[in-house]
Amino acid sequence: MDIILQYFSDFTPLQLQQLTALDAVYREWNEKINVISRKDIDSLYEKHVLHSLSIAAAVDIPAGTQVLDLGTGGGFPGIPLAIFFPEVQFHLVDSIGKKIKVVQAVVEALELKNVTTAHSRAEEIKNRKFDVVVSRAVAPLGDLWSWSKPLLKKAQSGKQKTENDEEAASGLICLKGGDLSQEISESGCAPTLLDIYDLFPLEYFMEKYVVLVTR
């Protein structure tokens, strides 16, 4: 938890309580259903929570935004982002039922009112559109973009600005690592890459990126 407070400080007491509770809740559920590798559970806050929050450090997500976490796995990046942005609505989906069972248990334990979950694939989501799709290392960028496009609201003319006059998040935001040149070339996208090591200069984040694709 201390590593989170090195980079973020403006938390409410409720947010601090929720972030602190993550460790015990994930340890309990990971004993029943392994959603985080045994060697990574002791690095939960660095490798999962802080990694997820690199999106919050890179872009602002305004209140009222509808966000889909596609292939959420154990709830990342969606659950840390939902704690960070309590006025944003998150829908976390995964095609593996036991993972969503854990995610739903974490949501209930933390009493996250801004999160819904579903055992679903992207192509099974009907009659619903989102402002932002987030994802963490689920699939190649081209696949993520093809799944995301039908689920994204149409781009507005002119960029929406936040209260701080920052550009509001929109489109696909994914977390990826390594040499992405071939993956980007094959995707047909023209993404913006933000180096997470510039945000959090820790060895774990070397060659890890926040990848932004807008419509």
Binding site membership for S-adenosyl-L-methionine: which residues? Answer: 71, 76, 122-123, 136
Distance of alpha carbon 151 from alpha carbon 81, whole angstroms: 19
Which helix or strand (DSSP H or E) is residue 24 part of? helix 13-32
Annotated binding site: 71, 76, 122-123, 136
Residues listed for the chain: 215
Q: Are 71 and 44 in contact (CB under 8 A)?
A: no
Vertex 61, ends 57 and 64: CA angle to 5°?
155
Q: Are 167 and 192 in contact (CB under 8 A)?
A: no
Both tokens of residue 176?
Answer: 């990826």
Q: With b meaning 16 or more CB within 10 Å and e meaning fewer, what string describes 101-135?
A: bbbbbbbebbebebbebbbbebeebeeeebbbbbb
Both tokens of residue 58?
Answer: 């890179």
Phi and psi at residue 168, to the nearest 5°: -75, 145
